């Protein structure tokens, strides 16, 4: 049983196509250096690096009883680093996109996979595939971090808010997802107000529309508030989110 943190930079392929190769390599090396440092500080194992995509595994090869908690803490630290790194690049004239993060836990097969001449130590299974789908779901919802319920249930002290029930492309079952709250914001009353509005929405209570309008007046650019209010304005109720793309 492991936990996984998977990340990807929005629109990075487009940036590569439009930028000087030397500058891109320097940027990517600096980014991955920071990501690797954070992963190792939290006791993670680098599962793989493919271009700008970065995957971290917890509880393998050495079991970690708190692997889910480590994964969430790692995701928050990566998000903090990535936001500041992107801001630095933009000030330097490089339009680096935001880093999207998916976190999930579950049973997987872990071992050396490959050919006689080359192999990788890696994980295979639905838990890591779902983490990848959760990372991609951020693009449609507007969030930066999506954590699966399987991880939240294994955390001793998860603090976050509900995203919704995601019907992910390529999966037959739904995934309940959450957004972890950074430590600096955990005492903000806004998140309790959001959860109250979310419960109204889940119950398809007509007053949910008023509740989300009030939240947007308080925090106009909050991604989940904007996402659900846009749906409500189209007459879509409930908290089930169907995603037809990865």
Helix (H, G, I), strand (E, B) or coil at 156: coil
Strands 2-9 and 45-50: unpaired
**What mean pLDDT, rounded, does the chain reach?**
94
The answer to whether the CB of 47 falls within 8 A of the CB of 58 is no
Q: Identify the weakest region by mean pLDDT among 34-38, 81-85, 115-119, 180-184.
A: 115-119
Strands 145-148 and 99-106: parallel
236 has pLDDT over 70:
yes
The answer to whether the CB of 178 falls within 8 A of the CB of 155 is no
**2: nearest Cα among 135, 108, 146:** 108
Q: Which residues pair with 46 in a beta bridge?
A: 56
Q: What is the pLDDT of residue 89?
A: 94
- Alpha carbons 181 and 179: distance in angstroms, whole number: 6
| pLDDT above 70: percentage of residues in the chain | 99
Angle (CA) 107-110-111 rounded to 5° is 165
pTM for this one?
A: 0.94
Mean pLDDT, residues 217-243 taken together: 95
91 vs 13, 175, 221, CA distance in Å? 20, 37, 22
Q: What is the pLDDT of residue 19?
A: 84
Q: Identify the weakest region by mean pLDDT among 101-105, 156-160, 206-210.
A: 156-160
63 has pLDDT over 70:
yes
Backbone φ and ψ of 113, nearest 5°: -125, 135
Mean pLDDT, residues 31-52 taken together: 95
Q: What is the pLDDT of residue 30?
A: 95
């Amino acid at each position: 049983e492991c936990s996984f943190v998977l990340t990807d930079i929005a629109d990075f392929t487009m940036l590569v196509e439009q930028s000087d190769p030397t500058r891109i390599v320097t940027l990517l090396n600096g980014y991955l250096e920071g990501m690797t440092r954070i992963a190792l500080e939290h006791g993670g194992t680098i599962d793989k690096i493919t271009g700008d995509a970065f995957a971290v595994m917890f509880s393998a090869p050495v079991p970690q009883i708190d692997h889910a908690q480590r994964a969430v803490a790692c995701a928050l630290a990566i998000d903090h680093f990535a936001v500041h790194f992107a801001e630095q690049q933009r000030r330097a004239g490089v339009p680096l996109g935001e880093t999207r993060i998916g976190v999930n836990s579950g049973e997987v097969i872990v071992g050396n996979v490959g050919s006689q001449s080359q192999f990788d130590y890696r994980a295979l299974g639905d838990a890591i595939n779902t983490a990848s789908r959760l990372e991609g779901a951020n693009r449609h919802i507007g969030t930066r971090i999506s954590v699966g319920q399987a991880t939240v249930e294994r955390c001793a002290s998860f603090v976050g808010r509900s995203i919704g029930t995601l019907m992910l492309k390529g999966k037959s079952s739904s995934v309940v997802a959450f957004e972890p709250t950074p430590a600096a914001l955990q005492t903000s009353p806004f998140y309790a107000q959001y959860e109250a509005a979310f419960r109204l929405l889940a119950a398809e209570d007509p007053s949910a529309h008023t509740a989300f309008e009030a939240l947007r007046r308080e925090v106009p650019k909050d991604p989940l508030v904007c996402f659900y209010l846009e749906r409500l304005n189209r007459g879509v109720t409930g908290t089930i989110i169907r995603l037809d793309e990865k």
